[in-house]
Structure 1
Amino acid sequence: MKKDTIETLFENLEGTFDVHQTPHGHEKRFMDRLNAQQESKLSRNWWKPLSIAASVVIILVLGFTFLKSPEQSRELASVSPEMEQTQTFFVSAINNEIDKLKSFETPETKAMIDDALNRITNLEEEYQQLKLDLVESGNDKRVIYAMIANFQNRIDLLEQVVSIVEEVKTLKTNENEITI
């Protein structure tokens, strides 16, 4: 029978094996290096769980912040069904007046219209503050009246500017007419 291949391999490699003794303290140096590598891996392994925990905390904080946001400001419509109708009426009237105002925009009236829209933006910012005040005051009637007055001021401003722009348009048309 043929000799086993492993036996043949060892017979061929006989005399080439390294059989000398390892230097004194080799095992200690090897173990020190191995322990140092394991300690550095352990210190690096803490960053992953720590970063994951920090991410979870940030997500939770943002989540709670966004959940609390709707409670921090309330619309006029949240007071009663009548106030909801009032708010709907004012918002649609304001939007209609803004659309009408924008339709009259010409180079002569652009500055006046832009100024009016800036004042509307300021009134809207005041309304946002009133929404916060409504929550803090617990539906105080004075805050509700101030919110309604804010809507009325916006409509009055828009109507006033629309009438002035219409006047300018009429004057421009009259100047361009030829009289015989």
Structure 2
Amino acid sequence: MEKDNIDKLFDRLQGEFDTESPATGHQDRFLEKLAGHNKGSDSKKPVLYRWKYLSIAASVVLLLGIGWVFYNTTQQSRVPVETETQVAYPELEKTQYYFASLIETELKKIREEATTEDTKVIVEDAVTQLNLIAKDYKKLEEELQNNGYSKQLLNAMITNFQTRITLLQHVMEEIDAIKRLKKDDHEEIRI
């Protein structure tokens, strides 16, 4: 039964088989390639050449790297004071962005929580105080621009941000206290 199936398969596929013979000299070329792979010393020769070129290239890269490091260390000894402040500014900008977004988020939360007149007054007062502290921060920025980088100045700027955040936290605590007080008053009246 299997032979019948195979016979039918061959009958059906007749004329579709690749029956062309390879080009003349195919066997000779194949044997030459086969003989070339069997030679041990000839096949290692290109690898050795490649290894030599890679060694030379690695040496050149190493020398260039050492020269670059040497050049940079000699240039750093000549760096003026202004460059140090320019290096500090990207970190300062990241810190400013972090604190400013944190303050903005907290202020938004506080404004959402301020639903009564008492809490709205507290929030308005806090915004006024925040604006005053922000003006102080602008003065610190101007001083940084005029006098350059100093750790004391940067600490003062960070303390300014922390003061604003602390103020907002106190305002949030006051709003929560007012809400609890009103809730407690309403609960007492119901009893």
**From 99, 106, 111, the counterpart of 1:90:** 99
For 2:182 and 2:123, the matched residues in 1 are separated by 17
Alpha-carbon distance, 1:78 to partner: 7.1
TM-score (norm. length: structure 1)? 0.53
Q: Which residue is 2:141 aligned to?
A: 131
For 2:166 and 2:106, the matched residues in 1 are separated by 10
Question: 5+ residue gaps in structure 1?
Answer: 1-75
User: Residue by residue, what CA displacement relative to the aligned partner does 1:77-120 show, whole Å, maximum 9, x if unpaired?
Assistant: 97244333322221111001110111122212222111111000
Q: Which residue is 1:113 aligned to?
A: 123
Q: Which residue is 1:151 aligned to?
A: 161
Secondary structure at the aligned position of 1:97 is classed as helix
1:109 and 1:165 in contact (8 A); partners too: yes
Structure 1 or 2: more helix by fraction: 2
Secondary structure at the aligned position of 1:158 is classed as helix
Q: Which structure 2 residues correspond to residues 70-89 of structure 1 after superposition, within 5 A?
A: 79-89=88-98
Aligned CA-pair RMSD: 2.1
Q: Which structure 2 residues correspond to residues 1-180 of structure 1 after superposition, within 5 A?
A: 79-105=88-114, 106-177=116-187, 180=191
User: Residue by residue, what CA displacement relative to the aligned partner does 1:14-54 show, whole Å, maximum 9, x if unpaired?
Assistant: xxxxxxxxxxxxxxxxxxxxxxxxxxxxxxxxxxxxxxxxx
Q: Aligned pair in 2 of structure 1 residues 97, 121: CA closer, same or farther (>3 Å)?
A: same
TM-score (norm. length: structure 2)? 0.50
**Percent identical across equivalent pairs?**
34
Pairs aligned (count): 105
Q: Aligned pair in 2 of structure 1 residues 77, 165: CA closer, same or farther (>3 Å)?
A: farther
User: Residue by residue, what CA displacement relative to the aligned partner does 1:36-78 show, whole Å, maximum 9, x if unpaired?
Assistant: xxxxxxxxxxxxxxxxxxxxxxxxxxxxxxxxxxxxxxxx997
Q: Aligned pair in 2 of structure 1 residues 161, 141: CA closer, same or farther (>3 Å)?
A: same
Q: Aligned pair in 2 of structure 1 residues 86, 140: CA closer, same or farther (>3 Å)?
A: same
